[in-house]
Chains A and B, each alone.
Chain A
């Protein structure tokens, strides 16, 4: 790390603290949502500088992209400003002070940033770096660990996404009793979108195929560079959000109907899970992709390809369903 990088990281970290304080301070929830998007972008930059490229890509797509869209969708249905202030401030501050003290106290025995002899660098991590070329043979070690060595965690993660999808559909699927007020901020929930604004419409429509192409690249190139099923799914969802913005919610819904999205949300986890079951039937352990082909390394390749596809399908289906659920709630 050069001195310049070090100062840049310090600068960004300080800026993040200031942004976080501003998020807590502002009464305007719209501003708070935007600021937390900016906060995520800054964390993504730091993650990138700290050699975590996959995380940086994901944080940028999720924190600055999807969660901002969700916040806007929810704010349009609730309220744009905080009414009441705080309660139990003294107690909260006391707890906060104690925990901060504990954490800062703990830091002084921590290994310094970048220390090659830190315990975290000595035990399991070098094994992954050393064995990945031999067992999995993909260039991106993060993908190897994520999809194979700790593939069971990623299975769980896929089901977390699936659970969230079920939850939002369950909670917002049924039409509300009363007529909720629609805020003008919810532009993407409008029936016509930006159809009357020619320039954004033309530019936007031109962009969508490229975004989808990029998503496919991220999906299938995850072995070689940062990316994978989750990031690809997020990018596809983003392109659908853009389409809904340009052409209106109705059009987007017709392009990808609700039943299809639900099917995708449910099929993705099944693809992942049954890959694991197939490994069992072929005589291996659950999720042991080595048995999927004659050559164990090829088996790993097939396995990773298939489960990444499962993740991508799940995330696409779930995120678009969630987006539609919020948007449709406003359009009624």
Chain B
């Protein structure tokens, strides 16, 4: 049990930074977006890790609820919204990349910058 107690949060930090690295350092625009969605997914883990209560179950009241322990519903609600925001950003970002490809015939940041300098 001991090791799990903070392991979630460390993995959150590592995933966040892997995503961040891909967004900032990669030159390919699609790869940047993949990194960006990784970056956003890491945050889901942060929130969801706040949910569970020792000995609890998902907060759905089926039969007799007396004496049972339930986990926190709020992080789930917030992350449902965040997932939707993530996919919306992704869709819009990909549409922009498609247009960039049509306008510049490239999806590499350095090549686009080069073309703009002319």
Contact, chains A and B (beta carbon distance below 8 A): yes
Bound CA–CA A160/B86 (angstroms): 10
Interface residues on A, range: 35 or more
A84 touches B74 (CB 8 A): no
- With both beta carbons as reference points, the residue of chain B lying nearest to A9 in the complex is identified as B4
Bound CA–CA A211/B59 (angstroms): 26
Bound CA–CA A214/B117 (angstroms): 53
Given A32-B34, A74-B97, A104-B13, answer yes or no on A50-B51 (Cβ-Cβ < 8 Å): yes
> For residue B116, which residues in chain A have a CB less than 8 angstroms away from its CB?
none
Bound CA–CA A148/B49 (angstroms): 24
For residues 205 through 261 of chain A, which have their beta carbon under 8 Å from a beta carbon of chain B? Answer: 224-226, 230
> For residue B109, which residues in chain A have a CB less than 8 angstroms away from its CB?
84, 87
Question: From DSSP, what is the main secondary structure of chain A's interface residues?
Answer: helix
A71 touches B94 (CB 8 A): yes
Minimum C-beta distance from B80 to chain A (A): 6
B59 touches A58 (CB 8 A): no
Bound CA–CA A82/B85 (angstroms): 26
Among B54, B91, B102, residue most surrounded by chain A Cβ atoms (within 10 Å):
B91
Selecting from A134-142, A269-277, A299-307, the interface stretch reads A134-142
Q: Is the CB of A202 closer than 8 A to any CB of chain B?
A: no
B residues contacting the other copy or chain, number (CB 8 A): 87
Count of chain A to chain B residue pairs whose CB atoms are closer than 8 Å in the complex? 302
Question: From DSSP, what is the main secondary structure of chain B's interface residues?
Answer: helix
Contact indicator per residue, chain A 122-164, by CB within 8 Å of chain B (1) or not (0): 0011001100110000011110111000100110110011011
Given A88-B25, A107-B6, answer yes or no on A52-B16 (Cβ-Cβ < 8 Å): no
> For residue A329, which residues in chain B have a CB less than 8 angstroms away from its CB?
98
Bound CA–CA A93/B76 (angstroms): 32
For residues 51 through 87 of chain B, which have their beta carbon under 8 Å from a beta carbon of chain A? Answer: 51-62, 65, 69-81, 83-87
Q: Is the CB of A316 closer than 8 A to any CB of chain B?
A: no
A84 touches B69 (CB 8 A): no
Q: Is the CB of A182 closer than 8 A to any CB of chain B?
A: no
Return the contact of B90 from the options A67, A88, A104, A157 (Cβ within 8 A).
A67
Contact indicator per residue, chain B 87-99, by CB within 8 Å of chain A (1) or not (0): 1111110111111
Given A67-B90, A121-B53, A171-B96, answer yes or no on A140-B25 (Cβ-Cβ < 8 Å): no
A47 touches B15 (CB 8 A): no
B72 touches A125 (CB 8 A): yes
> For residue B75, which residues in chain A have a CB less than 8 angstroms away from its CB?
52, 120
Return the contact of B59 from the options A13, A140, A171 (Cβ within 8 A).
A140
- Subset of 11 A-B contacts with CB under 8 Å: A1-B52, A51-B53, A55-B80, A58-B83, A74-B94, A82-B31, A86-B27, A114-B54, A139-B60, A142-B73, A153-B77
B residues sitting closer than 8 Å to A (CB atoms) are 1, 3-22, 24-28, 30-31, 34-35, 37-38, 41, 44-45, 48-62, 65, 69-81, 83-92, 94-99, 101-102, 107-111
